[in-house]
A and B are shown apart, each in its own frame.
Chain A
Amino acid sequence: MTSNVTAYALWVGTLANQCGIFVLLLRNQLFREMPIFFSYTVFHILRSLALLGIRSWYTPTQYSYAYWGAEAISAVLGFAVIYEVFSNVLKRYEGIRRLGLMLFRWTFLVLILVAIATAGTPDTKNSPALISSIIVLERSIRIIQCGLMGFLFLFGSTLALSWRHYAFGIALGFGLFASVELILAAVRAQLGPATDHLYALLKPGSYAFATLIWSAYLISPAPEPVVVATIPNNQVEQWNEAILGLLAR
């Protein structure tokens, strides 16, 4: 009973949050800069409403098909959102754009191989074959998403790239949600149906938390940039020459 109420509260809270995100994206004209994230938000609002209808009027099996079908579309859109955030960060750095995108694609390929390798380890507990396959597939998708988010954050901090306020918020929420879901899917695959209760609660919980982060970043104002009048004297070119000489040896 309590878990039903919690699940319902999470569902309503997430839907309300996403409607808020939708309005904020429209009001701040951010749908032009992040069209895929905007589509992702619209899709999730429609998905929640459609699933509510299907749950009320159709059989549990039909609901299950609709739910996992929507999850598949959401996963594809999720990859597109990660790529969009990465392109948005690199857009302002023409000099390293090509290098960044090349590294991103290679990371994606390597992560696909890792996901395929881990998909070979089946669910040992007594879950139905279909559920077991879905959990393994979900785990593989989250491995790729977590890896891409990790790469995005590491690449950004290594090169000291400055993020647009909202892009950082989107990446942050997405990264947290993908990481928690990966850990949950791995625990569920290992321990079997005994953890279903926890999985069913924490999975939407992590997503609700991500939507909270997105709205918080979209509401809060971006920090003021540093005010500088002139370019300070620097020896960047000479340093580059000296270090390149060292690297060539």
Chain B
Amino acid sequence: MMTATIFIIAFGCLSLAAIYFAIRGQCASIETLEQLEGNTKPVDLAAFQNLIDPREQEFLRLNLSKECYRRIQQDRVLISIEYLRCAAHNAALLIRVGEALRDSPEPAIRESAMQLVNSAMWLRLFALAAIVKLRFNIFFPGLSLTTLSARYNQVAESVCLLSRLKDPVSTSHILSSL
């Protein structure tokens, strides 16, 4: 009973915290073009592509000692995360620019602005998802989410094969639950 009450009160406090952060974000919103330009964080796309290039990673793995490769790879991942943070931040500013132009009297600008808002929003979402993925890779260097999903599929197939051999009737139920 006491644990449930603590959990509920903590839940209420978390909700209040979410409100606090929302107010802070709303207060820090951009109001002038100068503020907008001054707030962007320059990011080099080519450098980022190099950092996440699997061939580059393979090259380093083959030419460096295991310890050195591990250290360098971790640094590369941390830098990639920083790049992604900047990209997500810039995407938020581009969303504001797009929104400001969405009501433009010129149809071409209006169309481009809507496309910009859409693309920038997906960029922000992808960047945040990629940060989660890279953080996951730091804690579990040998595993990637894609490998996990491929392994899960393998296990699911093996279970189905086994069940098909043992009990062909219930296979469809197992298949649908996996």
Contact = CB atoms under 8 A, between A and B. Distances in A.
Contacts, number: 180
Interface stretch (A3-11, A19-27, A222-230): A222-230
A160 B92 contact: yes
Contacts of A121: 1, 4-5
Nearest to A238: B45
A118 B99 CA distance: 42
Contact of B128 (A143, A150, A158, A234): A158
B1 to A, nearest CB: 5
Given A149-B19, A153-B19, A186-B9, A168 B26 contact: yes
Contacts of B123: 236, 239-240, 243
A200 interface: no
B119 A236 contact: yes
A179 interface: yes
A187 B54 CA distance: 55
Nearest to B147: A249
Interface string A215-249: 00000000111111011101111111011111111
Interface stretch (B28-36, B63-71, B160-168): B28-36
A162 B52 contact: no
18 contacts: A118-B7, A146-B12, A149-B19, A154-B18, A157-B21, A175-B18, A182-B8, A183-B12, A186-B9, A190-B2, A226-B33, A226-B96, A226-B97, A231-B97, A231-B109, A236-B120, A240-B122, A247-B130
Given A158-B128, A179-B16, 11 more contacts: A96-B118, A96-B121, A96-B125, A122-B1, A159-B124, A189-B5, A224-B31, A226-B31, A230-B109, A242-B45, A243-B123
